[in-house]
Structures are given as structure tokens and as C-alpha cells.
Amino acid sequence: MIIAVMSDSHDNIWNLRKALDIISSRNCDIIIHCGDFVAPFVFKEFMAAGVPLYAVFGNNDGDRYLLAKTAAESGGLITLFSLVGECVVKGRRIAFTHEWAAAEGLAAAGRYDLVCFGHSHQYAQERIGHTIVLNPGEIMGKDGDPGFCIVDTEGIGIERVDIE
């Protein structure tokens, strides 16, 4: 299964649209977003793409009530968790959160194959025990090159994709 992992879109719908076009062309099965959408209108972009979204809140997500309401009205396309999300994809246990401290703790617990996080806007990948810890960088493009990651759950192959 192919998963797109992204974070920190911060209302940049132009970069998000570019990322979603790439995600569609690469036939990604799901998207994991590690927080900081900011406004609920961003969810409409995800709904238009039609790829199931699993997401958590970030520290800059403003109207959490309206974000949760929009997710609930997505017909099951958006699954929104609070601080930590979990899913199992083709037998791979995946957790995702926004902040490094939570990601580090999740990875140290040793229960996950992949732990994803955001917040720093910087791409990073490391291993803690048997767990791969991944920060896909930012969609926004404020602190560096905007981009995201594509993860193949077969061998947990990770590819960083830059948004032009």
C-alpha cells in the first residue's frame, strides 16, 4: 500500500493542490497529515482529492470545533484524531502526531513500525529501535523546500517528494 505523509500545510492551498495532484498521479491509497492545517477550508481540498485522510491537530489549528465538524461531515473520508493517531496498514502499525516529544515517546515504546510527526517544518528520518521516525517536512514552504513523503508499506520504502 502507498501512503502519502505530510504536515504543516498552514492554509497554503496552492502547494497543497500541487501535492494532491502528485498523490493522485502516484495512486496513493491514504494520506496521513501530521497537523497544522490551520483553517477548515483546507479539508475541502482533501475531500475534492478523494483520498482517505488520517490526521491529527497541530499547535496552529485554530477552530478545532469547525475542523472536527468538517471532518465528521466528510462521509468518512477524513478521520481526525486529537493529539495522536494510529492506524494499521497492510500489517504495518503506524502512529502520527504533531510534536517531536510525542513522536519520540511513541517510537521508544516499540509498538509501531512507523511514527510520523511534523511541527519543525524540516524533513527528518531516523530509527529508534525497530521504529522508523519520519518528519515529512512542510507543505507550506516557509522554512525550506515544500514537500512530503511517499511511503511504500511493503518494505517501508520512503521517498521525499519536493513540490515545485
3-state secondary structure 28-74: CCEEEECCCCCCCHHHHHHHHHCCCEEEECCCCCCCHHHHHHHHHCC
Domains and CATH numbers, the chain: 2-162 (3.60.21.10)
Q: Is the pLDDT of residue 62 over 90?
A: no
Strand arrangement, sheet containing 84-89: 84-89, 92-97, 114-116, 131-136, 123-128
Cell 497541530, residue located: 58
Question: What is 88-119 written as a DSSP string?
Answer: EETTEEEEEESSHHHHHHHHHTT--SEEE--S
What is the reported pLDDT for 164? Answer: 85
What is the reported pLDDT for 152? Answer: 96
Q: Is the pLDDT of residue 155 over 90?
A: no
What digits encode the pLDDT tens for the residues 120-154?
A: 999 999 999 999 999 999 999 988 799 999 999 99
Of 49, 33, 29, 37, the residue nearest 12 (C-alpha): 37
